[in-house]
Each structure stands twice: as C-alpha cells, then as structure tokens.
C-alpha cells in the first residue's frame, strides 16, 4: 500500500470504536483506502478498499438475512427480502459508518478530500462495507455477527421495515414531479473561504423560480441543505412542516 499506511496508534483508535482488535491490521488499513487515492499515489488498483467492500457486502447480507430469519419467524420471504434491503442500503450504511467516525480515518485523494469526501454518503457507506469485509477475513463470521447484530436491530427499531428516509434531494424531486411534473435544478450561488475551509451556497429552483438556498462545506452538502429548506417551505405552504430527516 505504498508509504501511506495509517499508523498503529490511529488504527487502534478505530479498533476501539468498533470493539474489534485485529490480528492483521493491514486488512483494516486497506479497508480505509478510497479509490481516489489510487489515482494520486503509487498504488495498484487492488490496494483500494473495493475488494474488501465486495466481500463485506456479501457478509453483511448474510448476517442481516440470518438475523431477520430468526427474529421474524412468521414473515414471508418477500417481506424478509424487503427488510434486508432496508438494512443494507447505502443510506443506512453511511449513517452507521458516520457513527463509527469512519470519516476521520478514510484515506482520500486530495481532490476527493477537498470536495467533502469525508462526509459523503457513498464514501462512508462503502468504507463501512470494506471494514466489515476486513473483520470477516481477520476475525470470522461470529465476531462480525457480534459487531453487526446490535446495530442492525437498532436500525430496525428506529426505522421499521422501510429503512431510513431518502435524502432531501430525492424527496424534493419526488414531491415536485408528483405535484407539478417539474424537476429541480441546482445552481452555485457563491463560494467563500480558503481552499481548505470553503463554504458553498447553492440555490434550488424550478423553471425560473428559486425555491430555497442552502450552505455547506461541499456543493453536495449545500444542495442537500437547499433541498431541505425547499421541502420545509413546501410543507409550510401545504400546512405540513413535518419533513423527515435523512442526514
């Protein structure tokens, strides 16, 4: 993995958060290498976390299916499949990854880092899958099950069988298309601050009407903030301010 490996003290911090002590920490380190780093450093394609992500996705699906099968003996195959999908979708995985603080440890290329990659849903969710793959290889299925089961049960208790709400941009697009047949568009309003600490302002509009604006440390986060503000405004207009969260 070249000369960019995380040191043992840093990996120990993540082990403490996970409650897992690795026999081979190089697996955990590899699980944190985002593909953007491969493009900027002297790394081979196989040095990224994508192979471990592939394995972790399969292991996660097995643990989730087993948990649901045992927890709900009266549910049909179709309902179990739906529940499993709600547990293993990228939004759920990114929330879990954020709770473990994976954004503090994932290794990114400079461009991905500057664009807010440490808080991006896809980065966190896929890094979490890669960590699960590393746990499975290093510790086996039983330890992986011990790590995942309480987290998955909590997610079921929190969201039920439907999973977490879609992100704000998806919610806004669905609402506008259903009500008006319109598709929202996002426009950059301003960028402030130095390169390492930028604040983006994005506006969301339909046709020529600006619905709302929002700020964030990346364009993506600012777009989500704008969509959230637009949903809140639409809710007020319809007498409903209860907009589900999807951070």
What letter would DSSP give residue 5? P
Active site residue 236: no
Please tell me which residue in 129, 155, 167, 223 is annotated as part of the active site. 129
12 contacts: CB under 8 Å, gap ≥ 6: none
Beta-bridged to residue 192, according to DSSP, are 199
Please tell me which residue in 57, 66, 146, 215 is annotated as part of the active site. 57
Q: Is 125 exposed, middle or buried (0-12, 13-18, 19+ CB in 10 A)?
A: buried
d(CA 10, CA 20) in angstroms, rounded, equals 14
Active site residue 129: yes
51 contacts: CB under 8 Å, gap ≥ 6: 133
Give the C-alpha distances (Å, rounded to integers) separating 34 from 17, 57, 101, 119, 247.
20, 16, 15, 13, 21
Q: Are strands 199-206 and 209-216 parallel, antiparallel or unpaired?
A: antiparallel
194 contacts: CB under 8 Å, gap ≥ 6: none
198 contacts: CB under 8 Å, gap ≥ 6: 114, 191, 192, 217, 218
State the catalytic residues. Answer: 57, 129
């Amino acid at each position: 993995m070249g000369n960019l490996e995380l040191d043992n003290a840093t990996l120990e911090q993540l082990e403490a958060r996970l409650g897992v002590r690795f026999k081979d920490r190089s697996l955990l380190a590899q699980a944190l290498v985002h593909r953007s780093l491969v493009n900027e450093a002297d790394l081979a394609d196989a040095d990224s976390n994508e192979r471990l992500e592939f394995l972790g996705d399969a292991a996660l699906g097995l643990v989730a299916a087993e948990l649901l099968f045992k927890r709900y003996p009266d549910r049909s195959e179709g309902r179990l499949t739906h529940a499993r999908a709600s547990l293993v979708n990228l939004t759920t995985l990114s929330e879990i990854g954020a709770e473990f603080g994976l954004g503090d440890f994932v290794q990114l290329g400079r461009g991905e880092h500057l664009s807010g990659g440490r808080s991006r849903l896809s980065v966190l969710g896929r890094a979490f899958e890669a960590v699960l793959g590393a746990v499975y290889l290093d510790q086996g299925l039983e330890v992986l099950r011990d790590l995942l089961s309480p987290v998955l049960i909590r997610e079921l208790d929190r969201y039920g069988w439907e999973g977490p709400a879609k992100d704000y941009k998806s919610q806004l697009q669905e609402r506008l298309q259903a009500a008006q047949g319109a598709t929202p568009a996002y426009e950059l309003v301003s960028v402030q601050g130095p390169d390492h600490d930028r604040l983006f302002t994005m506006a969301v509009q339909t046709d020529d009407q600006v619905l709302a604006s929002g700020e964030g440390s990346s364009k993506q986060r600012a777009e989500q903030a704008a969509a959230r503000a637009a949903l809140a405004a639409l809710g007020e207009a319809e007498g409903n301010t209860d907009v589900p969260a999807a951070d």
